[in-house]
Structure 1
């Protein structure tokens, strides 16, 4: 066993006062159930409860995952934004199938969503960009995802120039800004339990309604 493996085995897991869950007390609609759990996480002070892992595959089937921020849950969709030049945007354009994961560690809760991503209307795309802080908009305008940089200072100067432009043009919206809505086909709610008798509740869309079942962890 390597030294890091030995050290990892000493780390505690599923610590703290984990909430008890009656799985069938959750809404029959997984989006509504998600909002219920998200609200609990926000009220409990979970750090960055809107952090969302997005997994995609490229045209060759190579997987990739990264963390973004969830911006909305509505109409059965989980919504996030990205740059059209980013790897995730290219992947979703080629293959809209994707998987999302949220983990609220202090509550021992995880939610997994799989489905297909679709673009939102232009008005919503623009509104999302303009709702962000001037500093955030400047950073997004200055960025060129994946391109090489000669130094840290190069990016800092690009952000400074972009911030000057944002201040001069407060209605400016980056052409490459995209907002994606993932329409769920399967959603799983996982509640960790200290004795390891974990709870897994799966929702599957059968084309007409959501089928809900409890499964073994």
Structure 2
């Protein structure tokens, strides 16, 4: 297959994909709560009820010291009055980026209901005690992965990866309270939260919550409808 043929095949496949072949829920922004957290909790529960796979998966966008953007998918650990929680090694690429520029954006996409949620704001590190509790509330596999402690570093071969991972698994089983000193829980303190409800006729609803000048912690929220 030539490069031109391969490219044409890809484009045909790409353009043949359909969007929202299912009935989408209605969303009345006038009935939305005054703050975004309750609406996020409700939409998350609705995504679970609709059978959305991995609704807790989210994109995390950061920028490095030079301002170059980066993004990856990871799991939400909590969403409370403090903000949206996730965890990683402080020595990972995202950890270094957050140390240099402690701001981030999150993106959730739940295609089963044609919904997106976007969160932007400063990022703060939790206490070592919270980070330790976060790690040990997770599975043995998650602990084993954290114990390798080399996230984002270059690995020499699959054999090296397997050997190190097997050793970390054995340690996680033998020492369920083992420490992973660089494991860190982070919180995105929301300055903006946007809820997007898709519509098959492209009459999408976008509801944005913005913090007032009162500040990120405890400030009031302004609600705004945006053109799609």
Q: Which moved more, 1:173-182 or 1:139-148?
A: 139-148
The answer to whether 1:174 aligns with 2:185 is: no
Per the alignment, residue 207 of structure 1 pairs with 213
Match of 2:189 among 173, 183, 200: 183
SS of 1:12's partner is coil
Per the alignment, residue 25 of structure 2 pairs with 19
Per the alignment, residue 192 of structure 1 pairs with 198
Match of 1:125 among 128, 131, 135: 131
SS of 1:212's partner is strand
Q: How many residues are treated as equivalent by the alignment?
A: 217
Unaligned runs of 5+ in 1: none
Q: Deviations over 1:89-109 (max 9, x none)?
A: 111111111111000011100
TM-score (norm 1): 0.95
Structure 1 residue 143: deviation in Å? 4.3
TM-score (norm 2): 0.91
Structure 1 residue 165: deviation in Å? 1.6
Per the alignment, residue 91 of structure 1 pairs with 97
1:169/1:7 Cα in 2 relative to 1: closer, same or farther (>3 Å)? closer
Contact 2:51/2:112, CA 8 A, preserved across alignment: no
Unaligned runs of 5+ in 2: 215-219
The answer to whether 1:152 aligns with 2:158 is: yes
Mapped to 2, the partners of 1:194 and 1:56 lie a distance apart of 31
The answer to whether 1:37 aligns with 2:43 is: yes
Mapped to 2, the partners of 1:181 and 1:11 lie a distance apart of 36
Per the alignment, residue 140 of structure 1 pairs with 146
Q: Deviations over 1:151-200 (max 9, x none)?
A: 21211111111122222222112001010000000111000000111000
Mapped to 2, the partners of 1:160 and 1:7 lie a distance apart of 40
SS of 1:184's partner is coil
Q: Which moved more, 1:147-156 or 1:198-207?
A: 147-156
Contact 2:88/2:95, CA 8 A, preserved across alignment: yes
Q: Deviations over 1:71-127 (max 9, x none)?
A: 000114000001111111111111111111000011100011110100112221111
